[in-house]
């Protein structure tokens, strides 16, 4: 009789403890809302920003070029037009800037892998590369495979 009472009290304490724990978990503040990134940024990104963009399943084009580059402005405009198009908006972010020391011309997609875009000169070529590496793909990429 005494053992049954002790077991009943023990079970009651465990139940009350689990209810209190659940209540505390529900009152604990959640992570703040994720930072929203624009589709196009005219600056180099910080490593934390890259990670946050890629964590969301969005691909990233980084295009950093020196001031003396003659063809770079046209290529930057092609990239900007691509990422702001209705077909690809929300699937890719562009970081493009003129820099003194750093250069970059790549797309970062699945698994954080970088794919060079140095030989890409048309939107069609860019679309092919994007569809190869993007984790989250728009319908347009999926229709290419059919």
Strand order in the sheet with 40-41: 40-41, 92-98, 59-65, 104-108, 114-116
Distances (CA, A) of 124 to 8, 55, 65, 73, 109: 72, 26, 22, 18, 18
Strand partners, 116: 106
CB atoms within 10 A of CB 102: 11
pLDDT tens for the 146 residues of the chain, in order: 788 888 889 898 898 888 888 777 776 655 545 557 789 999 999 999 999 999 888 999 999 999 888 889 999 999 999 999 999 988 999 999 999 888 999 999 888 899 999 999 999 999 999 999 998 888 888 877 65
């Amino acid at each position: 009789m005494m053992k049954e009472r002790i077991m009943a009290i023990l079970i009651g304490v465990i139940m009350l403890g689990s209810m209190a724990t659940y209540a505390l978990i529900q009152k604990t503040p959640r992570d703040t809302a994720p930072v929203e990134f624009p589709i196009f940024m005219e600056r180099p990104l910080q490593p934390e920003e890259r990670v946050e963009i890629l964590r969301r399943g969005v691909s990233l084009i980084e295009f950093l070029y020196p001031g003396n580059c003659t063809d770079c402005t046209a290529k930057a405009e092609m990239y900007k037009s691509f990422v702001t198009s209705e077909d690809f908006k929300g699937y890719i972010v562009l970081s493009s800037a003129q820099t003194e020391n750093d250069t970059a011309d790549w797309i970062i997609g699945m698994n954080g892998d970088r794919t060079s875009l140095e030989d890409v000169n048309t939107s069609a070529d860019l679309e092919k590369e994007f569809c190869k590496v993007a984790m989250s793909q728009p319908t347009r990429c999926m229709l290419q495979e059919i």
